[in-house]
Structure 1
Amino acid sequence: MATKMRKLPSAVLLFLLVADLGWAWALIPSPSPAGLSARRYDSIFSFGDSYADTGNNPVVFAANSVFNLVTRPPYGSTFFGHPTGRNSDGRLIIDFIAQRLGLPLVPPSLAHNGSFRQGANFAVGGATALDAAFFHDGSDPGNKFPLNTSLGVQLQWLEALKPSLCRTTQECEAFFGRSLFFVGEFGVNDYHFSFPTKSLQEITSSVPDVIRTISMAIERLIKHGATSFVVPGTIPSGCMPQFTSYLAKDDPAEYNSTTGCREDYNNLGMHHNMLLQEALEKLRGRHPDAMIVYADLFGPIMDMVESPRKYGFEEDVLTNCCGRPGALICGDEGANLCEKPAARLFWDVAHLTEAAYRYIADGWLGSIDSPVLEIYLGYMYLLV
């Protein structure tokens, strides 16, 4: 019988990638407590930008109130009840994943004084894949932005922390082999920081350098003993309120007539994601014993933009909940705040609400309330 092709949901796609390497139960736990207690991972280590930062931002930007708005209400109001340094009203994808795997929320490496034996988060808001020197043309020797919190710097932070986690090579390989590593999201800031000074063609030409940097970071982590990776692609930044409202162009031809998103910025993101997936496939070939999973950010967010009602979102899906156009920035006193953050996709001009992050996390890992067997049977159905 001919195979009938249809689009697979993200959870099934992730399951297929993982199941192919024999790790299905590690990333999609059983709905029973016994299944959760039998999880594979003892710790989570995360690298990235504001989409993963759980509290390093206030440390890095301590002296800069413009970039430190996340320390003020209403950030964190939905779940934590107070600001935590997260660029959202509540939890991020990494938080939901940690909870799903029965692990503590991953502590920010720069702001946590306790143990990192169960993981550490090195992500920083505004972080780039490429080192800061790439963005300095020499015309302004005093230019210190973006700060040097790149992927390479975050790797150095892990390596500085390593002696407190394990001592011998064998011990480190065993420890990191029981850890889950998130490498990303990276790329958005690399491109956004270049928008004011470079053409889109010049920025597009830098995408291979960004992808190469991510690939080299994974190789470097493998040498430390890491074997399990989740590597998120980039977001559809052309849909951010930052570019659809605050910095909107006058030419309507630059925007998709259906979604309202900037086509050129989204095309850049799709190009990044295509090259990233190709690079990850090559890494799998060189490291067959490693699990390297691509995690889609672009698709789920676009689905929310195109079908907001399916997720319980209001129709003005590209309007941010906190700090509307014409008002103060989210975090400033008197900034506008929507009544129901759970009914919005965007929290502020560049980041998602906890509700949106939850949907993405569910798509990546599958719901604990849905037995893996049902996903497996769905996969078997597709083969007939």
Structure 2
Amino acid sequence: MHKLVCAALFLLLSLSWSKPVITSPSGGPRYKSIFSFGNSFADTGNNPVVFGWYSVFDPVTRPPYGTTFFSRPTDRNGDGRLIIDFIAENLGLPYAPPTLAHNGSFRRGANFAVGAATALDAGFFHERDIPGGSSKFPLNTSLGVQLEWFESMKPTLCRTARECKNFLRRSLFLVGEFGVNDYHFSFQRKTVQEVRSFVPHVVATISMAIERLIKHGARMLVVPGVIPSGCSPPILTKFAGTPPAAYDSKPGCLTAHNEVGLHHNALLQAALGKLRAKHRNVKIIYADFFGPIMDMVESPHKFGFEEDVLMVCCGGPGRYGMNSTVPCGDAAATRCRDPSARLYWDGVHLTEVANRHVADVWLGVINSFTGVSTKQGAK
């Protein structure tokens, strides 16, 4: 009897903690694979391969990265799972493997995202004397380059036009979160108004990428917006000498930098609307990245965060727990006691608990947009 009771309790707990898996009307998994493009918000291990020798100095390859969930560094920028990981779990799919660091099959998904990737090609930044990211290194990892990687992989995924059509229509494509690095790198040398003028170029590049994926056979695309950069600790640290009037009264974000993000998201949503009208047989979903982060920033206690919500969990000495000479992973860096009580992990990157909240918001939109049912799954 004791064993039966324990078994029943275990089953009850498993069901209560499991996540809904998006399914088709027939009851099977709605998607057979997931393909992800993006930057460090989505990179699951490409960065160290892309930048080779430089990765030796990359802190994400060292503890305490990955300690919350994986118990070891996995080359993810965080203490545990990323948004893409939670989405894969919810869809009943394996974590999308990094294309440059995985020797197995990509039939169930692939992750092309690379830390520091931009939407615009490196040449755009070279021409404007903007350092950082792709323009700092000889390798270009822009959205266009990642699309070329997908196109090179496609023949290994499907052979005939019919096979590709059937395969890719059951695949979920995540295109983003492009724009964040384009703007953050540009803020280093350009005024906010100058950076704002780059927004149409970034949005046009994302739109062209979506068109290319649709031409290849993609029928379900999720396109995230950008974050509130004015609430990002690296930006707040960079512009620490800004006059008080430039900040909102609560919680202390830079208003003008956030406005660039709002402008980007507005133009992106308008562009996606035009693409939907043009491709009526394709589902194109806008995933709000700005709103969920602002919710956590403005109401930290609601999410179990500490009052000083802009303070990072892992880093060096400084107002926001950040110091350019002492990054998270450095021997001199300090780490907060409980990452689940923080929004930010090491700067712009979120903690696992924050990533989970964003993923839940996006999955809610995906589910309502596709009109599919949900059932409890093993994840």
- TM above 0.5, one fold? yes
Q: Deviations over 1:213-237 (max 9, x none)?
A: 1011010001111000000000001
Distance 2:332 2:50 in 1: 26
Which residue of 181, 193, 196 corresponds with 2:188?
Answer: 196
1:288 aligns with 2:246: no
Residue 253 of structure 1 aligns with which residue?
245
Aligned pair in 2 of structure 1 residues 30, 357: CA closer, same or farther (>3 Å)?
A: closer
The one-letter amino acid paired with 1:241 is P
Aligned pair in 2 of structure 1 residues 30, 346: CA closer, same or farther (>3 Å)?
A: closer
SS of 2:177 mapped into structure 1:
coil
**Identity, % of aligned positions:** 63
The one-letter amino acid paired with 1:145 is K
Residue 269 of structure 2 aligns with which residue?
277
SS of 2:173 mapped into structure 1:
strand
TM-score normalised per structure 2: 0.85
TM-score normalised per structure 1: 0.84
Which residue of 163, 184, 187 corresponds with 1:171?
Answer: 163
Residue 89 of structure 1 aligns with which residue?
79
The one-letter amino acid paired with 1:301 is I
Distance 1:97 1:244 in 2: 30
Aligned pair in 2 of structure 1 residues 176, 72: CA closer, same or farther (>3 Å)?
A: same
Aligned pair in 2 of structure 1 residues 285, 43: CA closer, same or farther (>3 Å)?
A: same
Partners of 2:120 and 2:142 within 8 A in 1: yes
Q: Deviations over 1:49-87 (max 9, x none)?
A: 111111111112222258621101101110001111110
Aligned pair in 2 of structure 1 residues 67, 213: CA closer, same or farther (>3 Å)?
A: farther
1:333 aligns with 2:331: yes
Residue 364 of structure 1 aligns with which residue?
362
Distance 1:139 1:231 in 2: 29
Distance 1:224 1:273 in 2: 26
Distance 1:264 1:251 in 2: 12
1:145 aligns with 2:136: yes
1:113 offset after TM fit, Å?
0.6
Partners of 1:61 and 1:67 within 8 A in 2: no
SS of 1:194 mapped into structure 2:
helix
Residue 49 of structure 1 aligns with which residue?
39
Q: Deviations over 1:315-359 (max 9, x none)?
A: 110000000434621011131100000010000111000000001
Distance 1:362 1:116 in 2: 25
Q: Deviations over 1:89-111 (max 9, x none)?
A: 00011100000010000000111
Aligned-pair Cα RMSD in Å = 2.6
Distance 1:144 1:270 in 2: 25
> Which range is displaced more, 263-272 or 235-244?
235-244
Residue 293 of structure 2 aligns with which residue?
301
Distance 1:170 1:252 in 2: 60
1:138 offset after TM fit, Å?
7.8
The one-letter amino acid paired with 2:361 is G
Distance 2:130 2:172 in 1: 40
Partners of 2:48 and 2:55 within 8 A in 1: no
Residue 216 of structure 1 aligns with which residue?
208
1:144 offset after TM fit, Å?
4.7
1:201 offset after TM fit, Å?
1.7
1:148 offset after TM fit, Å?
0.6
Residue 349 of structure 2 aligns with which residue?
351
SS of 2:42 mapped into structure 1:
coil
Residue correspondence of structure 1 range 222-241 to structure 2 within 5 A: 222-241=214-233
> Which ranges in structure 1 are unaligned for 5 or more consecutive residues?
1-28, 377-384
Q: Deviations over 1:22-66 (max 9, x none)?
A: xxxxxxx95699989612210000001111111111112222258
Aligned pair in 2 of structure 1 residues 261, 67: CA closer, same or farther (>3 Å)?
A: farther
Partners of 2:47 and 2:55 within 8 A in 1: no
Which residue of 87, 102, 109 corresponds with 1:119?
Answer: 109
Distance 1:128 1:139 in 2: 15
> Which range is displaced more, 58-67 or 280-289?
58-67
The one-letter amino acid paired with 2:355 is Y
1:137 offset after TM fit, Å?
2.4
1:248 offset after TM fit, Å?
1.7
Aligned pair in 2 of structure 1 residues 231, 324: CA closer, same or farther (>3 Å)?
A: same
Distance 1:36 1:361 in 2: 25
SS of 1:258 mapped into structure 2:
coil
1:38 aligns with 2:15: no
Partners of 1:52 and 1:123 within 8 A in 2: yes
Aligned residue pair count: 342
Distance 2:44 2:349 in 1: 13
1:249 offset after TM fit, Å?
2.4
Residue correspondence of structure 1 range 151-162 to structure 2 within 5 A: 151-162=143-154
1:106 aligns with 2:96: yes
Partners of 1:92 and 1:358 within 8 A in 2: yes
